[in-house]
Amino acid sequence: MSVSLLNLLNSAVDNYPENIAVSHKDVSVTYIELWHKVCDLSNYLKKNGLNKGDRVSLLLENSIEYVITYYGILAAGGVVIALNTATKSRDLTRWIRHSDSKWLFVQADHPELLKINNSELNINNILVGNTDIEINNATSWDVIFKSNYQILPELEIQNDDLAAIIYTSGTTGNPKGVMLSHKNLHHNICSILEYLEITNEDSILNVLPFYYSYGNSILHTHIAVGGRIVLENNTLFPKRILKEMEDKKVTGFSGVPSTFALLMNRTKFSDFNLSKLRYMTQAGGAMAPANIDRLKNELSDVKFFVMYGQTEGTARLAYLPPDQLVIKRGSIGKAIPDIKLEVQDIDGNKCPPHVTGEICAKGDNIMLGYWKDPETTKKVICNGWLKTGDLAHYDDDEFIYIDGRSSEMIKSGAHRISPKEIEEVILELDLVSEVAVIGVQDELLGQTIKAVIVPKTDIKINKLQLLSHCKENLANYKVPKIVDFVESLPKTPSGKIKRFMLNKTKIKEYNNV
Amino acid sequence: MSLEEQIRGYVLENYLFTDDQSALNSADSFLEKGILDSTGILEVIYFIEDEFNVKVEDDEMIPENLDSVNQIVAYIGKKQGS
């Protein structure tokens, strides 16, 4: 029998039809209501020419519409391409084109919508929300639900059929689209459910974007069991988040280290009645042990799960059981149920304790590969093992500790950012001769972005102009926070930039206007 | 320079990277327009505390006080008058 997220949704609809599935602001949708909408959307797509395996892009903030669209596409046999809503049109159009998407479900007030549609993409737009905007090939979201609800026809899904592509970086050249099958998603969701023990009585306040694998796993784990997801799309005002957790009596909360740091910066969990809160999860980089201790002190009855994962592994690869949090301080734990995780040396042999190697993973959650990029796929999946690029060691009990990352990716808040992407945008300015972008330590975000720039001879660069160019072409979180102008970049004799020196040495300021 | 101009200038320079005053309306919601992220709002609070000698209490970190230039101006006025 084939497995898919749709089986899990079906079972939740059968068992808990009147449970609230998703709440956003003052609107909620029950499982049976969600299912009817999913069927309507699926039927609409099929009637309008969607064939099995066709890609459909989503450019939607976390919302009830997002959930309907995601499952509606799967039910129609389509492939979900959930796009990062903070991204600017140049990467969005690149991803839409690269995935050959035929449809785009998009927030009608998305600031990049016009630019995307002016870029000669041949795509059908479904506009969610009201707007005065007029573009070609556009249909209003409401049109989909005008006909009476119809039962969904049977759909043949194979385990290895493609279900979703998650783009992990923009950049020029080959965008990296992680291909996830129905089996990948189903398997990883079931593993997570096993150790988090989420049930239909659970409800989570979700602040993480669904277009990332972490948020994606939160969405599907709760839908799978008939749980409730309360959406809050903004962490600007931490007190509001905690009040919402109290008011909605949520049992779960998930974040990246910066989420917890922000919440604890100016508020105290203990000031709120969070008696229903059962567990919290943290992934997306190492959280400062001091912050974990503080959290545990304030919420001693709440289970705190440290987790580790990668989009290439669908979402989750390892977790540290809450009862090991103090004993195995700083560890990411061990493999989640039903997958293999090993620290391996360069020859693919398992490392002994205290010897650093690369974390490798094997299991039904490992991606099919990168979309249209078999070469890069071969580099990261060898003999069935996914090479994560993360360096780590075992302790004597085979708990895993991260030692470093072998890639240059910057991890800032919930985001993984390619320095190359930012460098390419900065180099588009005629005034710049050379640039190197690095991540520097930041108390709240883990890392923040620093650009070190060599201007062309005798040219003075206006910093505002430079940052404005970045903002126009990059998601806001990719705009450098620190900009240094220097006479030259430190390099090895072979001409490679010594990135570590950009972080550690004091750089002479130059022409900073 | 008025209080409103100072605050608008700070947001324009640090988050919109422009000195074009028309790029930001004083009534624009930082939250709805996506002008600030969660670390941005903390930086704005440090700016308010340093520049205007106002202590932003934890309980006062709410949208009603801090979600637009106009709201910040009113908030600072209230704090300085109290």
Q: Does residue A308 form part of some domain?
A: no
Flag if B61 and A445 touch (Cβ within 8 Å): no
3-state DSSP: chain B helix, strand, coil percent, rounded to 5? 65, 0, 35
Flag if B62 and A479 touch (Cβ within 8 Å): no
Q: Does residue A485 form part of some domain?
A: yes
Chain A nearest-CA residue for B14: A464
Q: What is the CATH number of the domain that holds A451?
A: 3.30.300.30
Flag if B63 and A266 touch (Cβ within 8 Å): no
Task: Count structural domains, chain A.
Answer: 1
ipTM of predicted complex: 0.79
User: Which one of A84, A236, A479 would you mutate to disrupt binding with B, by most B Cβ within 10 Å of its Cβ?
Assistant: A236
**Overall pTM > 0.95:** no
Instruction: Indicate if the pLDDT at residue A513 is higher than 60.
Output: no
SS3 A66: helix
Nearest to A480 by CA among A441, A513, A442, A438: A438
Chain A nearest-CA residue for B62: A237
pLDDT bin (cut points 50, 70, 90) of residue A145 is very high
In chain B, domain spans: 3-81
Query: For A402-498, where are the alpha helices, taking DSSP H only?
Result: 419-427, 463-473
pLDDT at A509: 41
Distance CA A375, CA A13 (A): 41
Nearest to A267 among B17, B36, B58 (CB): B58
Instruction: Indicate if the pLDDT at residue A476 is higher than 50.
Output: yes
List CB contacts (< 8 A) between B39 and chain A: 258, 262, 413, 444-445
Nearest to A237 among B34, B39, B62 (CB): B62
pLDDT tens for A28-38 read 999 999 999 99
Q: Does residue A340 form part of some domain?
A: no
Q: Does residue A430 form part of some domain?
A: yes
List CB contacts (< 8 A) between A238 and chain B: 38, 61
Residues in CB range of A217: below 8 A, 6 or more apart: A188, A189, A192, A309, A314, A315, A316
Range of the domain at A448: 417-504
User: Which one of B38, B46, B49 would you mutate to disrupt binding with A, by most A Cβ within 10 Å of its Cβ?
Assistant: B38
pLDDT tens for A178-222 read 999 999 999 999 999 999 999 999 999 999 999 999 999 999 999
What sign does the CA torsion over A322, A326, A328, A329 have? positive
Q: Does residue A399 form part of some domain?
A: no
Distance CA A498, CA A168 (A): 26
CA distances from A113 to A165, A197, A235, A318, A388 (A): 21, 40, 25, 38, 34
Residues in CB range of A79: below 8 A, 6 or more apart: A53, A54, A55, A56, A73, A99, A162, A163, A164, A165
Q: Does residue A476 form part of some domain?
A: yes
Share of chain A above pLDDT 90, in %: 67
Phi, psi values for residue A78, rounded to 5°: -85, 175
Give domain B3-81's CATH architecture: Orthogonal Bundle (1.10)
Nearest to A59 by CA among A2, A94, A98, A104: A104
Nearest to A237 among B19, B39, B61 (CB): B61
Phi, psi values for residue A87, rounded to 5°: -75, 150
- Rounded to an integer, the average pLDDT of A379-394 is 94
Q: Does residue A181 form part of some domain?
A: no
